């Protein structure tokens, strides 16, 4: 069964407990951030680190989710649009 609850926990300690519980039950628990491996995002991060685009003063992020992520049932399961999406925004910023 696949669950899309996001975030999987609100603290590192709580996430660790979930991984330990999954291991005890011989289940797979997988949490990943796929956007940090996006080639365009990696190139942007490299350009910022090298100073190619000047001093970073502001970051604006705009992302688009598929329509299936906008239905009330999914929003309830995912914790709402901010919990569901903001964790990915933080990941992209800190990459």
- Domain extents in the chain: 32-94
- Residue with the larger pLDDT of the pair 74 and 50: 50
With a threshold of 0.95, does the pTM exceed it?
no
Ramachandran region, residue 26 (left: φ > 0; alpha: ψ -120 to 50; beta: rest): left
State yes or no: pLDDT of 70 exceeds 80. Answer: no
For range 54-59, the mean pLDDT:
85
- Separation between Cα atoms, residue 61 and residue 73, nearest integer Å: 25
Residue 31 backbone phi and psi in degrees, to 5: -135, 125
For range 19-36, the mean pLDDT:
87
The residue behind tokens 């598929």 is 66
Share of the chain above pLDDT 90, in %: 17
pLDDT band at 19 (very low <50, low <70, confident <90, very high): very high
State yes or no: pLDDT of 15 exceeds 80. Answer: yes
pLDDT at 5: 64
- Separation between Cα atoms, residue 71 and residue 79, nearest integer Å: 12
Contacts of 74 by beta carbon, 8 Å cutoff, 6+ apart: 4, 68
């Amino acid at each position: 069964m696949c669950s899309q609850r996001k975030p999987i926990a609100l603290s590192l300690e709580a996430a660790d407990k979930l991984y330990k519980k999954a291991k005890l039950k011989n289940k797979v628990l997988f949490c990943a951030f796929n956007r940090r491996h996006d080639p365009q995002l990696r190139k942007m991060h490299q350009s910022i680190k090298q100073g190619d685009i000047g001093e970073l003063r502001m970051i604006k992020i705009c992302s688009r989710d598929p329509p299936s992520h906008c239905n009330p049932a999914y929003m309830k399961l995912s914790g709402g649009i901010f919990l569901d999406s903001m964790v990915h925004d933080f990941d992209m910023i800190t990459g």
